Chain A
Amino acid sequence: MRTRFIVDKSVGYFLMLMALTSILAVFLIGFFTLREGLPAISEIGLGRLLTGSVWRPGLEEFGLVPMIAGSVLVTIGAAILGVPLAIGCAVFLAEIAPRWMSNIVRPAVELLAGIPSVVYGLFGMVVLVPLARKVPVAGNSGFGLLAASAVLAVMILPTITNISEYAIRLVPREYREGSLALGTTRWQTITRVILPSARSGIVAAIILGIGRALGETIAMIMVIGNSVIIPRPLNANPLTIFLSQARTLTGNIAVEINYATGIHESALFATGVILFVLIMLINSSARAIMRERTR
Chain B
Amino acid sequence: MNAPGSGRSNLGSRRLMQRIAFSLVWAAGSLSVLILLIVVGYIVAKGLSSITWQFITTPPRGGISGEGGISTTIVATLYLVVLTVGIATPLGVGAGIYLVEYAEAMARKSRIIRAVVSTARFGVETLAGVPSIIFGLFGYALFVSSMHLGFSLLAAGLAGACLILPVVIRTTEEALKAVPVSYRNGSLALGATRWQTTQKVVLPAAIPGIMTGIVLSVGRIVSETAIFYVTLGGSYRMPTSLLSGGRTMALHVYYLAMETRAFDKAMGTAAILVISIIIINAVINLFSRKLSARIGA
Contact = CB atoms under 8 A, between A and B. Distances in A.
Interface in A102-117: 104-105, 107-112, 114-117
Contact of A105 (B33, B46, B169): B33
B135 A29 contact: yes
A19 B116 contact: yes
Nearest to A161: B32
Q: Most B CB atoms within 10 A — which of A18, A119, A188?
A: A119
Contacts of B15: 185
A33 B120 contact: no
Interface stretch (A61-69, A135-143, A228-236, A250-258): A250-258
Nearest to A287: B125
Interface stretch (B54-62, B67-75, B176-184, B193-201): B193-201
B134 A257 contact: no
A26 B254 contact: no
B5 to A, nearest CB: 7
Interface string A178-195: 000011111110011000
Interface stretch (A5-13, A40-48, A51-59, A198-206): A5-13
Nearest to A125: B257
Given A22-B120, A123-B42, A88 B29 contact: yes
Contact of B3 (A4, A111, A161, A188): A188
B28 interface: yes
B140 A257 contact: yes
Nearest to B267: A122
A111 B95 contact: no
Interface string B272-293: 0110011011001100000000
A15 B98 contact: yes
A127 interface: yes
Interface string A68-90: 00000000000000001101110
Given A7-B193, A187-B17, A92 B28 contact: yes
Interface stretch (B202-210, B216-224, B236-244): B216-224
B29 A23 contact: no
B191 to A, nearest CB: 10
Given A18-B98, A32-B138, A275-B134, A116 B223 contact: yes
Given A18-B98, A22-B124, A5 B138 contact: no
A29 B165 CA distance: 14
A85 B222 CA distance: 28
B43 A7 contact: no
A284 B44 CA distance: 39
A157 interface: yes
A215 B1 CA distance: 41
A35 B285 CA distance: 42
A22 B95 contact: yes
Contacts of A84: 28
B270 interface: yes
Contacts of A117: 223, 225-226
Contacts of B140: 257
Given A4-B193, A32-B146, A85-B31, A20 B123 contact: yes
Given A122-B270, A183-B5, A88 B27 contact: yes
Contacts, number: 275
A32 B130 CA distance: 14
A114 B280 contact: yes
Interface residues of A, number: 92
Interface string B8-31: 000000110110011011111111
Contacts of A208: 129
A295 to B, nearest CB: 16
A114 B219 contact: yes
A154 B131 contact: no
B32 A112 contact: yes
A26 B263 CA distance: 38
Contact of A20 (B25, B97, B120): B120
A170 interface: no
A20 B165 contact: no
Contacts of A166: none
B131 A92 contact: no
Contact of B134 (A4, A107, A272): A272
B152 to A, nearest CB: 16
Contacts of A258: 230
Interface in A128-161: 154, 157, 161
A192 B4 CA distance: 12
Interface string A206-233: 0010010011111000100000000000
24 contacts: A4-B193, A12-B195, A19-B94, A26-B122, A28-B138, A29-B134, A85-B31, A88-B25, A88-B29, A105-B32, A118-B225, A118-B253, A118-B270, A122-B253, A123-B43, A126-B263, A184-B4, A192-B1, A216-B131, A218-B226, A257-B140, A258-B230, A280-B129, A283-B125
> Which 4 pairs show the lowest CB-CB distances between chains A and B?
A215-B131, A88-B28, A23-B123, A116-B223
Given A112-B32, A118-B251, A119-B223, 11 more contacts: A7-B193, A18-B90, A25-B127, A26-B123, A29-B138, A32-B138, A105-B29, A111-B40, A117-B223, A122-B253, A184-B4
